[in-house]
Amino acid sequence: METLDSATWRSRCALRIAELDHEISRMEAERLANDIHAFERTRAMSPEAAAEFVSVEMARPDRAPFERRSQPRERRREIANGAG
C-alpha cells in the first residue's frame, strides 16, 4: 500500500465519503475524514477502504460503537514489559 501524508489521506477519504453519501456536505465529509483518520485501525487502511468500511459498519443495525484505545499500543507494550 502506498504511504500517504495525513492531508492527502484525509482529502481522499473525504472525497470517497462524499461519493458514498451524496447528501453530505464537503465540510461534513472532511470532518468525518478527520475522525476516521484519528482511529488507528482505519488510518492503517487506504482512505477509500476506510470510508467504505465505516459506511458499511455504520449501516449495520447491530454495530458496536467506535471507540479509541485507552492507551496507544506502544504504551501498553511498555507497561506490559515493565518499562512504564
| pTM of the shown model | 0.73
pLDDT digits (tens, 9 = 90+) for 36-79: 999 989 999 999 999 999 999 888 887 666 555 556 666 555 55
Q: What angle do CA 64, 18, 55 make, to 5 degrees?
A: 20
Q: Map residue 49 onto helix, strand or coil.
A: helix
Helix axes 6-20, 26-38, angle to 10 degrees: 130
Quote the DSSP letter at residue 61.
T
pLDDT digits (tens, 9 = 90+) for 1-27: 678 999 999 999 999 999 999 999 999
Place of cell 484519528: 38
What's the rounded Cα separation, in Å, for the pair 19 and 15? 6
Single-letter amino acid code for the residue at 44: A
**Backbone dihedral region for residue 82 (phi beyond 0: left; psi -120 to 50: alpha; all else: beta):** left
